[in-house]
């Protein structure tokens, strides 16, 4: 009678309990600016990867994406806006008899800053020694096109499409032509024959390139005021500035003298002195991304 069994009220659950851990998926909102043309092969070392990242950053250009707005003149419009608000507040928003010396000092300081913002774009161009250029215009009789050879690989197609877009978007060029190992990518405003198909248009560009003898180009050609009589048939009508950047292939990295032409990048503009030194260095960096690429 003394041996009374103990009743356990706890549920019989095996120990330890293998409960699945809650999984949390991390969502991050990022804005990817694909302005680099990545090589088909990964870098062999961390140092090469760092150099590749530095080169990728060198071709990044951030813009607001507003059509017709030159971002270099953005401080001027900001100065106009805040200067106008200060004048409206002084003459319409406050009583002339109640204006204090502190308010006057603040308004004078604000107008001075607004004036400095207005002249800042002109001051920057003056310090760089830049010459005024005409506004980029589209010649009459041109047609907007975007053609590319069908034999190019998908990875290179994507790179050529993005490079052609950023070159036209971030420079004063109205037309561009990229030749890589005999394959063509043309974009922008060109004087093309009427009612032509894509295949006929590619053959038309190849004949123009052969006539201009650009397959063996090794040096950069820049015509800031005149497109050159030998290239009049190749570039669109009304071209006043022409830049041709060669794409050179180096078979041996240690031998810098054996550079063979692999193609070129051609940019045409209707303005004089359309490409600054910064533009030419940036275009050369884009051309270097195609060194040794396989189509």
Q: Is 95 exposed, middle or buried, given 0-12, 13-18 or 19+ CB atoms closer than 10 A?
A: exposed
Q: Give the span between the Cα atoms of 47 and 43, in whole angstroms.
A: 9
Q: Token pair of 111, please?
A: 């107008």
Beta bridge partners of 161: none
Residue 131's φ and ψ, nearest 5 degrees, are -100, 145
Beta bridge partners of 176: 187, 267
Q: Give the span between the Cα atoms of 146 and 187, in whole angstroms.
A: 4
Q: Domains in the chain, start-ordered, CATH in brackets?
A: 71-128 (no CATH), 134-288 (3.30.450.40)
Q: Give pLDDT tens digits along the chain (295 positions).
A: 444 444 444 444 444 444 444 444 443 333 333 433 344 344 444 544 444 444 343 344 445 555 556 667 788 889 999 999 988 888 887 777 788 888 889 999 999 999 998 888 777 666 654 444 445 678 888 889 999 998 888 888 898 999 999 999 889 999 999 998 888 999 999 988 887 888 889 999 998 888 888 888 888 999 987 766 678 888 888 888 999 999 987 665 544 556 778 899 999 999 888 898 989 999 999 988 887 665 5
Cβ neighbour number for residue 215 with a 10 Å cutoff: 13
What one-character-per-residue DSSP string does 39-77 give? -SS--SSHHHHHHHHHHHHHT-------TT--GGGHHHH
DSSP 126: H
Q: Give the span between the Cα atoms of 291 and 132, in whole angstroms.
A: 34
Q: Give the span between the Cα atoms of 182 and 295, in whole angstroms.
A: 9
Q: Give the span between the Cα atoms of 115 and 112, in whole angstroms.
A: 5
Own/partner long-range contacts of 261-264 (Cβ < 8 Å, ≥24 apart)? 261/215, 261/216, 261/217, 261/218, 262/180, 262/181, 262/290, 262/291, 262/292, 263/178, 263/179, 263/180, 263/181, 263/182, 263/290, 264/178, 264/179, 264/214, 264/217
């Amino acid at each position: 009678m003394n041996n009374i069994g103990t009743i356990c009220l706890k549920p019989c659950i095996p120990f330890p309990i293998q409960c699945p851990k809650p999984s949390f998926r991390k969502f991050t909102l990022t804005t990817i600016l694909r302005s680099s043309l990545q090589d088909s092969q990964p870098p062999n070392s961390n140092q090469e990867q760092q150099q590749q990242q530095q080169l990728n950053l060198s071709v990044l250009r951030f813009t607001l994406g507003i059509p017709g707005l030159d971002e270099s003149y953005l401080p001027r419009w900001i100065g106009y806006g805040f200067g106008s608000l200060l004048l409206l507040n002084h003459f319409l928003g406050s009583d002339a008899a109640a204006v204090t010396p502190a308010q006057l000092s603040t308004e004078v300081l604000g107008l001075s800053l607004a004036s400095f913002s207005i002249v800042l774009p002109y001051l920057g161009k003056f310090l760089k020694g830049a010459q005024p250029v005409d506004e980029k215009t589209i010649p009459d009789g041109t047609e907007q096109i975007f053609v590319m050879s069908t034999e190019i690989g998908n990875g290179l197609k994507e790179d050529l499409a993005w490079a052609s877009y950023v070159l036209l978007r971030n420079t004063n060029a109205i037309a561009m032509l990229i030749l890589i190992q005999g394959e063509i990518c043309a974009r922008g405003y060109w004087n093309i024959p009427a009612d032509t198909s894509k295949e006929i248009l590619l053959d038309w560009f190849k004949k123009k390139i052969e006539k201009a003898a650009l397959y063996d180009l090794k040096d950069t050609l820049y015509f800031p005021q005149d497109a050159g009589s030998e290239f009049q048939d190749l570039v669109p009508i009304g071209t006043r500035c022409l830049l041709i950047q060669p794409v050179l292939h180096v078979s041996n990295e240690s031998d810098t003298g054996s550079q063979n032409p692999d193609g070129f990048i051609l940019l045409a503009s209707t303005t004089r002195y359309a490409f600054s030194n910064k533009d030419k260095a940036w275009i050369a960096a884009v051309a270097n991304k195609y060194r040794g690429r396989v189509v």
